[in-house]
Structure 1
Amino acid sequence: MLKTTIADPDRPGSLAHAARARRWTELLRCYPDLAEMRVLDLGGTPGSWRAAPLRPAHVVTVNLDPATARHDEPGLTAVVADACDLPSSLAHERFDLVYSNSLVEHVGGHSRRCRFAETVRGRAAHHWVQTPYRYFPIEPHWVFPGMQFLPFRARVVVSQRWPHGHIRSAGPAQAVADVAEVELLSATEMRAYFPDSDLWYERFAGLPKSLVARV
């Protein structure tokens, strides 16, 4: 039941679904011309834009998963690539907006986050980069209270045994990899990576739940 009521963004009535709806309202307030924009989505999938309440004029998604590139269609192009190291096919492309949802905490370390931020800032005049807030009481990937503050070994155990959230580790080695991949960010870190951006706090029950760096 916990996964249904909290963690499933595609289920109407879930907390995640309500949060996504609020985020879309704010996105459209910031970019009222979104329907006419060319958007580069770092870490996104075509499916998320097919389900979106509004689709921009053209969206290019960049994702490491080959499965995301199976179904190109007019106005929606999927590229299999690293968001920190875009391929030559995108080398000279400019966009109206760079969008990224819950990716920067997965790219792997400070130097990779710096490269990600350079990609974001260098490809468009506007950007919207969302990430879960490190100090929200519930870790969002496993939906486990305070997991991000536990020792690494304890987080590995949680990843193997806790039945809720988006990440279910199949065994010890996979749990180590899953836990090591996720590095939640603070507001200070987001300001350092995006110094010219406005930082918007998405709140739940009055507490900051996620951060959005936006221009």
Structure 2
Amino acid sequence: MSGIRALRSRFVDAPDSLGERFRAARWERFRACFPGIGGMRVVDLGGTAENWLRSPLRPRHVHLVNLEPHPDLLPEWMSAENADVTDPDIPAKLGEFDLVVSNSTIEHVGGPSQRRRFVAAVDQLAPLHWVQTPYRYFPVEPHFLAPGFQFLPLAARAKLVRHWPLTHSRPGTPEEGMDAVIGIDLLTRAEMRYLFPRSVILAERVAGLTKSLTAVRNRV
């Protein structure tokens, strides 16, 4: 492993990385918000099987909804499908659950109208939810581990991502560089409050700075 890759692994990818410690602490906050999680049917919008298999929690059932492929083999308490949850017809097709979970997904679904569709689906799918997203004004952009990256013009981001050493998969062409950055739109606290007016907005902090925001509704 190169020195740069080792540095990224130390920050976010390795089992003992800072990112993994943040995820473990997030699971504990999640458990505190939903102490009855063991008996719940959960739909995870944008989730992965790997995330739940590494989780210390085990809901009664988890249904994964993602545009990316899922593993062929899943444990019996887990199911999955490929779907775009911003499609207005999808919530009716998925049915009803006890809890919607979504981590670091709402910032990828598109512009304001797509985010409103995402929230509409959250409201239709279950009475309770946990929707987490990185905070726009945290000084380090979390997808590329680049300070201030989210505040650069789009063209500058598309160019920089092809050369920035801590990018997970460095794009090889200008088109790939634009593809890597154009679909990420980090949210502010004001937008989360607007999208989830009946939810509590929790702040995850690092060194006193807000790193991510989570809209939580844990009471009917």
TM interval, short-chain normalised:
over 0.9
Matched residue type, 1:131: T
Shift of the alpha carbon at 1:92? 6.1
Amino acid at match of 1:22: A
Unaligned runs of 5+ in 1: none
Within the candidate set 16, 22, 26, 2:25 is matched to: 22
- The correspondence for 1:213, drawn from 209, 212, 215, is 215
2:136 to 131, 134, 140: 134
Q: TM-score, normalised by structure 1?
A: 0.93
Deviates further, 185-194 or 166-175: 166-175
Structure 1's 195 and 167: CA in aligned 2 closer, same or farther, altered over 3 A? farther
Counterpart contact for 1:38–1:96, Cα < 8 Å: yes
Deviation of 1:195 (Å): 0.9
What is aligned with 1:3?
A: 8
C-alpha distance in 1 between matches for 2:181 and 2:94: 35
CA distance in 2, matches of 1:50, 1:92: 22
Match of 1:57 in 2: 60
> Helix, strand or coil: the match of 1:95?
coil
Q: Once the two structures are aligned, what percentage of the paired residues are identical?
A: 45
Q: Quote how far apart the aligned CAs of 1:166 are.
A: 3.3
Q: Matches of 2:9 and 2:140 in 1, distance apart?
A: 16
CA contact (8 A) 1:139 1:145 kept: yes
Structure 1 position 197 matched with structure 2 position 202: no
C-alpha contact 2:161 2:167 (8 A) present in aligned 1: no
Distance in 2 of aligned mates of 1:151 and 1:2: 26
**1:14 CA drift (Å):** 1.2
Q: Report the alpha carbon displacement of residue 169 of structure 1 after superposing the two structures with TM.
A: 1.7
Unpaired runs of at least 5, structure 2? 1-5
Residue 166 of structure 2 is matched in structure 1 by: 164
**1:39 alignment counterpart:** 42
For 1:89 and 1:189, the matched residues in 2 are separated by 23
**TM-score, normalised to structure 2's length?**
0.91
Q: Retained in 2: the 8 A contact 1:7–1:143?
A: no
